[in-house]
Amino acid sequence: MSGYRTIHGDRVHFGWDNSLAPALTVAPGEEVEFEVVDASGGQLSQGSGTEDVGRLDFGRVNPVTGPVYVEGAEPGDSLVVEILGLEGSGWGWSAIIPGFGLLAEDFPDPFLHISHYEGNHVDVTPEVRLPLRPFPGTIGAAPAEPGLHPVVPPREVGGNMDIRDLVAGTRLYLPVRVPGALFSVGDTHAAQGDGEVCGTAVETAMRVRLRFGLERATAQRFPRFVLAGAPGPQVAEKGYQVTTGIGPDLMLAAKDAVRGMIDLLDREYHVEPPLAYVLCSVAADLKISEVVDAPNWVVSAYLPRAIFR
């Protein structure tokens, strides 16, 4: 990726703040290449071990590159972000971080796993290969509220949404809340399941190329996007392992669906629980199967069988 205006990886910030000075000002129609630092802020490397997870400085995690001021963007407009391409570093990490993730109470100890990717695949282990499907986990604009706001929770203006279908070819529409929108991007992933249940995907540094546009006076409240092709990686040729959680609380049902998949991976594929939890995060998709038959709802976890070699 060359020939585009570039924002280098040293132009990062660690929270959303509409008072930040722009790293770049662009006109609608311009393309920008962003150098995105991995979600650890460069604190983890290919040689890191589980002990390094416990040493993370959380003031440096989840950096985003930017912000970009888009000329003419005003509150009430929609910022149009076309995702043109992503180029990765060839390796990524996934971790269990104590106190974080859907099953934090089940996994109190840190864990780190390193994966490598090239071509169209991510090799998690010699036995497990995922489709490479890169996307930015954090992509958004500045909120209207003043002050510094943490990056971790997603917001009406986007942010850390972890929507794995925001791949190349997708067109994202973000609500504009401040003049210029003040757009930033980060948290790039090589692969992830819907839900990112352990709190991390295959986290990796990447170069991301985007094109900006505007739609006037849409009064859009939340992000929306147009997906160019079928959602999710096409690995259905061998079917799926599916576990469920059922109950009156969707969050508890989601937890039980993932717990069921971890147990299945341990029992049938001899994957130890910490790695099984990570595998659920990078490869399994949580789906809301039913929300109408009160008082109980159904959440299902789908894991493609074809990822096992």
Q: For the chain, what is the domain count?
A: 2
**pLDDT score at 1:** 43
Q: What CATH number does the domain containing 89 carry?
A: 2.60.120.580
Q: Where are the beta strands (DSSP E) in 141-274?
A: 158-160, 171-175, 183-189, 206-215, 224-226, 240-247
* End residue of a domain, out of 226, 259, 292: 226
The secondary structure of residue 155, as a DSSP letter, is: B
Q: Which domain holds residue 172?
A: 5-226
Q: How confident is the model at residue 151 (pLDDT cuts 50, 70, 90)?
A: very high
Q: Is the pLDDT of residue 296 over 60?
A: yes
Strands 224-226 and 171-175, by their bridges, are: antiparallel
128 and 221, same domain (yes or no): yes
Q: Within a domain: residue 147?
A: yes
> Do 258 and 110 share a domain, yes or no?
no
In this structure, the answer to whether residues 257 and 144 fall within a common structural domain is no
CATH of the domain at 246: 3.10.28.20
C-alpha span between 226 and 119 (Å, rounded): 25
Contacts of 167 (CB under 8 A, 6+ apart): 83, 86, 133, 134, 135
- 114 shares a domain with 176: yes
Q: Which helix (H) or strand (E) holds 202?
A: none
Domain presence at residue 116: yes
Shared domain for 48 and 133, answered yes or no, is yes
38 and 152 in a single domain? The answer is yes
Whether residues 128 and 247 fall in one domain: no
Is the same domain home to 262 and 192? no
Of 194, 226, 258, the residue that ends a domain is 226
Is the domain of 82 the same as that of 185?
A: yes
Q: Do 143 and 157 contact (CB within 8 A), yes or no?
A: yes
275 close to 95: Cβ distance less than 8 angstroms: no
CA dihedral 286, 287, 291, 292 (to 10 degrees): -150
Is the pLDDT at 232 greater than 70, yes or no? no
User: Could you tell me if 160 and 244 lie in one domain?
Assistant: no
Q: For residue 182, what are its two tokens? A: 């003040």
pLDDT in tens, 68-80: 999 999 999 999 9
180-209 pLDDT per residue, tens: 999 999 999 999 999 999 999 999 999 999
Is the domain of 221 the same as that of 251? no
Q: What is the pLDDT of residues 255-278, one digit of tens each?
A: 999 999 999 999 999 999 999 999
Confidence of residue 292 (pLDDT cuts 50, 70, 90): very high
Query: Which residue, of 192, 226, 260, is where some domain finishes?
Result: 226
One domain, residues 256 and 184: no
